Amino acid sequence: MTQTDFSTILPVTLLAAWASLLLLADLFLSRERKGLTTLLAALGLALTMGVTLAQSGLEAAPGFGGMVMRDGFSTFLNALFLLTGLLGVAVSYGYNHRLGIERGEYYPLLLFSVAGMMLMAQAANLIVVFLALELLSIPLYVMAAFAYPKIQSEEAGLKYFLLGAFASGFVVYGIALAFGATGTTDLAQILASVSMGAANLPLLTAGAGLLLVGFGFKVAAVPFHMWTPDVYQGAPTSVTAFMAAGAKAAGFAALLRVFGMAFPALAADLAPVMAILAALTMILGNVVAVAQTDIKRMLAYSSIAQAGYILMAFAPFGDESARTMAVAGGLFYLVAYTLASFGSWGVVIALEQSEEKGLQIADYNGLGRKYPLLGVAMAVFMLSLIGLPPTLGLIGKIYLFRAVIEGGLVWLAVIGALTSLLSAFYYLRVVVNMFMREGDPQVEREWWLEFAIGAAAVVTVVVSLWPFPLFDWAAQAVMTLF
Amino acid sequence: MNFLLEPLSIVTFSPLLGVLVLLFLKSEQKAALRWTALITSLVTFLISLWAFFFSGLYNPASGGLQLVAKYNWINVAGWDIRYYLAADGLSILLVLLTTFLTPIAILSTWTAVEERVKDFMLFFLLLEVGMTGVFVAQDLFLFYIFWEFTLVPMYFLIGIWGGPNRLYAAVKFFLYTMAGSILMLLAILWLGINGGTFSVPDLVAQGNIPVDVQMWLFIAFAAAFAIKVPMWPLHSWLPDAHVEAPTAGSVILAGVLLKMGTYGFLRFNLPLFPEASAQAAPVIGWLAVIGILYGAAVSFAQKDVKKLVAYSSVSHLGFVMLGLFALNAQGVAGAILQMVNHGLSTGALFLLVGMIYEQTHTREIKVYGGLWKITPIFGTLMLIVSLSSMGLPGLNGFVGEFTILLGAFGAGMKGGVFAGAGGFWLAGLAAVGVILAAIYILYMFQKMFLGPAGEVTHHHTLKDLNWREVVTLLPILVFIFWIGLYPKPFFDLMMPAIENLLKPFGG
The end-to-end CA distance of chain A, in Å, is 27
Residue with the larger pLDDT of the pair A319 and A426? A426
The total of structural domains in chain A comes to 2
Residue A402 CB: number of other CB atoms within 10 A? 24
Contacts of A440 (CB under 8 A, 6+ apart): A366, A370
Q: Give the bridge partners for A63, in sequence order.
A: A68
Q: Which of A236-245, A320-329, B280-289 has the lowest mean pLDDT?
A: A320-329
Please determine, for residue B131, whether its predicted confidence score (pLDDT) is greater than 90.
yes
Whether the bond between A390 and the residue before it is cis, its omega within 30 degrees of 0, is yes
Residue A191 CB: number of other CB atoms within 10 A? 18
Length of chain B, please? 507
Q: φ, ψ for residue B304 (rounded to 5)?
A: -100, 125
- B12, burial (CB in 10 Å: exposed 0-12, middle 13-18, buried 19+): buried
Length of chain A, please? 482
Q: Which of A10-19, A274-283, B369-378 has the lowest mean pLDDT?
A: B369-378
CB A376 within 8 A of CB A457: yes
Domain co-membership, A188 together with A223: yes
CB A22 within 8 A of CB A107: yes
Mean pLDDT of chain B: 88
Q: Are strands A61-63 and B66-74 parallel, antiparallel or unpaired?
A: unpaired
Domain co-membership, A326 together with A425: yes
Integer-rounded Cα radius of gyration of chain A: 21
Residue B42 falls inside a structural domain: no
* Nearest Cβ partner for A436 among B79, B149, B167: B167
SS (H, E, C) B222-246: HHHHHHHCCCCCCCCHHHHHHHHCC
- Give residue-wise pLDDT tens across range A360-413: 888 888 888 888 899 999 999 999 999 888 899 999 998 899 888 888 888 999
Domain co-membership, A209 together with A292: no
In 3D, which of B368, B206, B260, B385 has the Cα closest to residue B312?
Answer: B385
Residue of chain A minimizing CA distance to B77: A475
Chain B residues whose CB is inside 8 A of the A406 CB are 193
- As a whole number of angstroms, the distance between CA A261 and CA A316 comes to 15
- As a whole number of angstroms, the distance between CA B42 and CA B376 comes to 29
- Helices (H) and strands (E) counted in chain B, each on its own, are 22, 2
CA distances from A251 to A120, A149, B479 (A): 8, 29, 62
- d(CA B281, nearest CA chain A) in Å: 26
Local confidence band at A156 (pLDDT 50, 70, 90 cut-offs):
very high
Domain co-membership, A257 together with A282: no
User: At A47, which helix (H) or strand (E)?
Assistant: helix A35-54
**Boundary of a domain, candidates A262, A279, A294:** A262
- B291, burial (CB in 10 Å: exposed 0-12, middle 13-18, buried 19+): buried
Domain co-membership, A302 together with A406: yes
- d(CA B267, nearest CA chain A) in Å: 22
Domain co-membership, A129 together with A146: yes
Contacts of B102 (CB under 8 A, 6+ apart): B15, B41, B44, B45, B124, B128, B252
The total of structural domains in chain B comes to 1
Domain co-membership, A316 together with A187: no
Q: Are strands A68-70 and B81-87 parallel, antiparallel or unpaired?
A: unpaired
Domain co-membership, A232 together with A271: no
CB A368 within 8 A of CB A406: no
Which range of A60-69, A257-266, B271-280 scores highest in mean pLDDT? It is B271-280
Domain, as residue range, for B429: 275-507
Mean pLDDT of B196-223: 89
Contacts of B489 (CB under 8 A, 6+ apart): none
Helices (H), B361-487: 371-374, 376-390, 396-412, 423-449, 455-459, 467-485
Residues in chain B whose beta carbon is closer than 8 A to a beta carbon of chain A?
Answer: 73-74, 76-79, 116, 119, 141, 145-146, 148-149, 151-152, 155-156, 159-160, 166-167, 170-171, 174-175, 178-179, 182-183, 185-186, 189-190, 192-193
Chain A residues whose CB is inside 8 A of the B177 CB are none
* Nearest Cβ partner for B152 among A383, A421, A432: A383
The share of chain B scoring above pLDDT 70, in percent, equals 98
Report pLDDT for B147: 93
Whole-model pTM: value is 0.90
Domain co-membership, A219 together with A293: no
The backbone region for A215, taken as left when phi is positive above 0, alpha when psi lies in -120 to 50, beta otherwise, is: alpha
- As a whole number of angstroms, the distance between CA A429 and CA A379 comes to 10
Local confidence band at A142 (pLDDT 50, 70, 90 cut-offs):
very high
**Boundary of a domain, candidates A262, A292, A315:** A262
- Give residue-wise pLDDT tens across range B178-190: 888 888 999 998 8
Residue B414 CB: number of other CB atoms within 10 A? 7
Query: CB A435 to CB B156 under 8 A?
Result: yes
A400 close contact with B: CB closer than 8 A: no
CA distances from B158 to B153, B162, B224 (A): 9, 5, 20
The share of chain A scoring above pLDDT 90, in percent, equals 52
- As a whole number of angstroms, the distance between CA A415 and CA A336 comes to 20
CB B313 within 8 A of CB B254: yes
Residue B57 CB: number of other CB atoms within 10 A? 15
| 353-392 of A, contacting B, C-beta below 8 A | 369, 372, 383, 388-390
Please determine, for residue B1, whether its predicted confidence score (pLDDT) is greater than 80.
no
Residue with the larger pLDDT of the pair B462 and A454? A454
Mean pLDDT of B108-121: 86
- Give residue-wise pLDDT tens across range B310-351: 999 999 999 999 999 988 888 999 999 999 999 999 999 999
- As a whole number of angstroms, the distance between CA B436 and CA B254 comes to 20
Domain co-membership, A193 together with A332: no
The backbone region for B196, taken as left when phi is positive above 0, alpha when psi lies in -120 to 50, beta otherwise, is: left
Report pLDDT for A482: 63
- As a whole number of angstroms, the distance between CA B212 and CA B279 comes to 11
Residue B138 falls inside a structural domain: no
Q: Which of A318-322, A382-386, B82-86 has the lowest mean pLDDT?
A: A318-322
Residue B241 falls inside a structural domain: no
Domain co-membership, A270 together with A258: no
Mean pLDDT of A30-59: 87
* Nearest Cβ partner for A417 among B170, B175, B182: B182
> What single DSSP character describes residue B68?
E
The backbone region for B266, taken as left when phi is positive above 0, alpha when psi lies in -120 to 50, beta otherwise, is: alpha
Report pLDDT for A438: 86
Chain A residues whose CB is inside 8 A of the B166 CB are 436
Q: Are strands A68-70 and B66-74 parallel, antiparallel or unpaired?
A: unpaired
Question: Chain A interface, mutation test: which of B22, B158, B186, most A Cβ atoms within 10 Å?
Answer: B186
- d(CA B80, nearest CA chain A) in Å: 11
Q: φ, ψ for residue A357 (rounded to 5)?
A: -90, 155
- d(CA A286, nearest CA chain B) in Å: 15
Residue B123 falls inside a structural domain: no
**Boundary of a domain, candidates A220, A237, A262:** A262
Residue B102 falls inside a structural domain: no
Please determine, for residue B507, whether its predicted confidence score (pLDDT) is greater than 60.
no
Domain, as residue range, for A431: 266-482
Mean pLDDT of B378-387: 90
Please determine, for residue A62, whether its predicted confidence score (pLDDT) is greater than 60.
yes
Question: Chain B interface, mutation test: which of A468, A470, A476, most B Cβ atoms within 10 Å?
Answer: A468
The share of chain A scoring above pLDDT 70, in percent, equals 99
- As a whole number of angstroms, the distance between CA B57 and CA B62 comes to 12
Domain co-membership, A258 together with A323: no
Please determine, for residue A198, whether its predicted confidence score (pLDDT) is greater than 60.
yes
Helices (H), A65-125: 72-98, 106-122
Report pLDDT for B25: 86
Residue with the larger pLDDT of the pair A200 and A306? A306
CB A211 within 8 A of CB A169: no
Report pLDDT for A465: 87
Mean pLDDT of A186-212: 87
* Nearest Cβ partner for A389 among B149, B171, B175: B149
Please determine, for residue B77, whether its predicted confidence score (pLDDT) is greater than 70.
no
Contacts of A320 (CB under 8 A, 6+ apart): none
